[in-house]
Amino acid sequence: MAARTLSTTTRTLCTLLGVASASAAFGVGCNAILGIDEGHLVTKGAGGSTSEDSGAGGSSTKPDAGASGGAASGDGGRAAGGASGAGSGGRSTGGAGAGGRGTGGAGMGGASTGGAGTGGAAGGGAGGMQEPAGVPGEVQCGTSSCKLPGQVCCIDTTSGAAHCAMSCDSTSQLPVSCDGSEDCSGGKPKCCYPTGGTAASCTAGCIGRVFCGKDSDCIPGQRCAPGAGALASVFVCKAIPSVKTVWCGSAVCDVALGEMCCYDKTAKSEQCSKTCKAADVKFACDAAEDCASGSSCCETRTGVGLITGTQCVAGGCAAAPEFTCGGANGCTSVAGSQCCLSATGSTCSATCSGEVVCGTAADCAAGQSCTPIAATGIGSATGRAVCTAP
């Protein structure tokens, strides 16, 4: 998979000192720096919150916020303003294209370090989030692209210089043989940077970080997003908090910052914004946990039954449909549950008799996509993203 450059500064230090000390205590310390704990992913840092990669002072809702400074300045966050050119350290060519996700495609140079965008998704897709863009059978390696399986990317642990080669020097170089599942096949479908490991490679399972090239590489409730810290130049699977977040085109709107998901019925696209156009379907919440205590997330419609969105209503929804989830991330209390859509709203269940509400394709069955409902007729759940067969 191409279009990303592996950052090695922190990992280099850990590798060098780890060789010198070879102590268990040091290994744990390096894992913590790299965002990995013994046997599982670190969910937050000191002073952080429900954000998987938030560290000291991190945002409580921005899942891509970096370790210091929260969503406004975190490594690996959304590019500033959602602009087509990524922020400092971002992708040098392209970024997400103006007008929506995928139009421009991701460029070269690694993930953005600009933090959360201001003003919503001006031109970088929903929420301004950058997109992983991998090439099967290739690994981006500095300014080169290594062709698999004959080559791997070797990163010098002293200088950080990267080059393609048939094999790496195990005493001084870090080997990277994949940067997404599109580089893997057969019985080893995961591109894994394991807990305590010194290389990223294809494995049958993964205890550590899963490097991803698309949302469907991840498990339900996650998305494929830019990494943070030492993993800022790759895309990794990240769990998304359900509190004060609204799914929007596989991105996440921050309810605490006043964002909502705006679905444009003409363009059939959606983006996070603090202000939607008058004709947009406006999703201000996915569940009651996006609302104040004692309020519910209720669907809103016109007098003739055309959907206008969702909103928080104190005291309950009365006769209106009530939403209790917006994707699998809202159904984590029971393992394997899905978010099911019905005429009465959305609920978590082991199986859905109707449509499955999704945040990303990770919530859907293999081969399905997560797509907003485009139908605009009376009774249609226009703009609500559901799993869709090809």
Q: Last residue of a domain, which of 220, 241, 262? A: 241
Q: 355 pairs with which residues across the strands? A: 341
184 and 290 housed in the same domain? no
237 and 283 housed in the same domain? no
Evaluate whether residue 88 is within a structural domain: no
293 and 153 housed in the same domain? no
* β 251-254/222-226 pair status: unpaired
210 and 268 housed in the same domain? no
Q: CA-CA distance, 226 to 91, in Å (whole number)? A: 11
Flag whether the pTM goes above 0.75: no
pLDDT tens for each residue of 40-70: 333 333 333 334 443 333 333 444 433 333 3
149 and 172 housed in the same domain? yes
Q: Last residue of a domain, which of 207, 241, 275? A: 241
pLDDT tens for each residue of 268-298: 999 999 999 999 999 999 999 999 999 999 9
Q: Last residue of a domain, which of 196, 214, 241? A: 241
What pLDDT band is residue 204 in, cutting at 50, 70 and 90? very high
Count of structural domains within the chain: 2
**Which of 16-20, 183-187, 246-250, 347-351 comes out lowest in average pLDDT?**
16-20
Vertex 153, ends 151 and 155: CA angle to 5°? 145
59 and 171 housed in the same domain? yes
Question: Which residue, among 164, 91, 88, 96, has the nearest Cα to 127 in the 3D structure?
Answer: 96
Residue 147: both structure tokens together: 């062709």
- DSSP 3-state percent helix, strand, coil across the chain (nearest 5): 15, 30, 60
C-alpha count within 13 angstroms, C-beta hemisphere, residue 206: 26
Evaluate whether residue 320 is within a structural domain: yes
Evaluate whether residue 102 is within a structural domain: no
232 and 255 housed in the same domain? no
**Which of 94-103, 123-132, 297-306 comes out lowest in average pLDDT?**
94-103
Residue 6: both structure tokens together: 């592996």
pLDDT tens for each residue of 116-131: 333 333 333 344 456 6
Evaluate whether residue 49 is within a structural domain: yes
285 and 193 housed in the same domain? no
- How confident is the model at residue 138, as a pLDDT? 86
Q: CA-CA distance, 129 to 63, in Å (whole number)? A: 11
220 and 282 housed in the same domain? no
220 and 147 housed in the same domain? yes
Evaluate whether residue 90 is within a structural domain: no
> Region 297-313: what's the mean pLDDT?
95
Residue 265: both structure tokens together: 């019925």
Its domain, for residue 349, covers 244-390
Residue 12: both structure tokens together: 């280099």
